[in-house]
Amino acid sequence: MTRVRDAALALGAAVALLGSAQPDERTTLRALAASYYAGAPAIAKVTGRDTTMDYYNRLVADLAEQDTTPPPNYDATLFYGTMHEIGRLDISLATQLMQRSYVPMSQIRGLDETFVQSSADGTMQPVAVYVPTTYVPGKAAPLVVFLHGHGETETQLLAPKFVRDLAEKSGAIVVAPYGRAYFDFSGSENDVYDALAAAKSAFTIDARKRFLAGFSMGGFSVYRIAPMKPNEWAGVMSISGSLLKPEGDRVVAELHATPFYVVTGENDDNIPCDISTAAAVYLRFNGVPVSYYMQPKGVHRLSSLLPMLTQAWNDMLAGVVRTTRFSTNATLPWVSPPTASPKPSPS
C-alpha cells in the first residue's frame, strides 16, 4: 500500500512538473524517472513484465546523454536536435504509461509517440509515428512501417530530422513499432502487424502504397516479416541488412513480384557491404524485382547513407525499379552477424 501511495504522489509531482512552463529537461527526466520507477510494478500489468524497465532505462539514458558531445563528423545542430526529440518522445511515452492515457494515433501530426494494444496478449506496446504536414484525412497517403536496429529504439529511429524529412517530402506516414526489443523482432511479429493495422484504421492509407522498411537488425527482419502477410506490402526496403539463406526460398515464393530496395554503405564495418549486396544478387537471380543502392564511403549510420537512401526511398514510393547488372550469383549468410546494431544514437 505504501508503494502505491508513494507512486501516486510521485506521479502527481511529475505531472505538475511536466505541466509547468518550460521545465529544465534534466529536472523533468530526473523527476519522471523517479516517478516511473516507483510505479513500475503497476505499469508492468499494462506493458508486460519484459519491457517495463526498458522505458525507465530510456529516461536514465536520456538524462546521461545530456552531456554527450556529437561524434566525429556529425553536425552538432542535427545531433542536439535529435537528442532533444528522443528525450521528448521518451518523456511522452513514460507519461502516457503512468497516466494510463494514450495519444490517439489519428490525432498525431508531426512526430509523436503512442501505444497500440497487442492482439497477442493485450499489452500496450509503443509506436513512434510521423505524420507529414501534407496529410489530409480522406486523401490516401503512403505508409511506411519502419523497423529499428538492435540496441536501438523506435524513438531513436524516427527522431533524426533527416528521417522526418524523407517522410515529409514524400508525403508518407511512418510508423515504427518497438517490438519489445526482441532480437530480429522474433516473437514480436504481431506488434509489427498491429502497428500496421492501427495506422490503417487511424489514417486514410493508400492500399497500393504500404511498405515495410528496416535498418540494421530491422534490415534483416524485413525479409522474415514481409512474407508472413505478403499481400500487405507494395515494396520492401532493407537498409544495412541482408536476406539469410534459410529464408531465401520463402521470400522468393511469397514475394516474387514485390519490389525490393537494398541500401548499403561501402565502408560499413558492422554489416559488410558484401552481405547486403548478396541479398540483392540472390533476389535478382531468382527473378524478384530489386533495386540496389550502394553509398560510397557510407558506414553503419543512416545519416551517412542519406544520398542513396533518399533515392531508394523515393523510388520505392514511386514504384520505380532500377536494373543493376550483377555478374555472378551470391552466397547468402546463414545467420545475421552478432554486431547487427547501429552506431550509438542518433542514427
Torsion from C-alpha of 26, 27, 31, 36, nearest 10 degrees = -30
Q: Are 140 and 97 in a shared domain?
A: no
Q: Are 66 and 110 in a shared domain?
A: no
Q: Residue 13 above 50 pLDDT? A: no
Give the residue from 101, 120, 135 where a domain finishes. Answer: 101
What is the per-residue pLDDT for 21? 44
Q: How many CA atoms lie within 13 A of 58 on its CB side?
A: 28
Q: Are 92 and 143 in a shared domain?
A: no
| 163: containing domain | 102-347
Q: Are 43 and 139 in a shared domain?
A: no
Residue 43's pLDDT band (boundaries 50, 70, 90)? very high
d(CA 219, CA 278): 13
Give the residue from 84, 101, 118 where a domain finishes. Answer: 101
| Local structure of residue 139 (DSSP, 8 states) | S
Torsion from C-alpha of 295, 155, 52, 32, nearest 10 degrees = 140
Global pTM reads 0.92
Identify the burial level of 102 via C-beta atoms within 10 angstroms of its C-beta, where 0-12 means exposed, 13-18 middle and 19 or more buried.
middle
Q: Are 144 and 178 in a shared domain?
A: yes
Q: Are 110 and 73 in a shared domain?
A: no
What is the per-residue pLDDT for 344? 43
Q: Are 29 and 43 in a shared domain?
A: yes
For the chain, what is the domain count? 2
End-to-end CA distance of the chain: 43
What is the per-residue pLDDT for 341? 53
Q: In this structure, what CATH number is given to the domain that contains residue 327?
A: 3.40.50.1820
pLDDT tens sequence across 81-111: 999 999 999 999 999 999 999 999 999 999 9
Give the residue from 40, 75, 101 where a domain finishes. Answer: 101
- Alpha helices by DSSP H, listed for the chain, are 2-18, 25-47, 52-64, 76-99, 154-158, 161-170, 189-202, 217-225, 248-254, 273-285, 306-318
Residue 160's alpha-carbon distances to 61, 127, 156, 301, in angstroms, are 17, 16, 7, 11
Q: Are 198 and 60 in a shared domain?
A: no
Q: Are 76 and 118 in a shared domain?
A: no
Q: Residue 8 above 50 pLDDT? A: no
Please give the average per-residue pLDDT across 64-85, as a whole number.
89
Q: Are 56 and 140 in a shared domain?
A: no
**% the chain with pLDDT above 70:** 90
Q: Are 319 and 179 in a shared domain?
A: yes
Q: Are 49 and 157 in a shared domain?
A: no
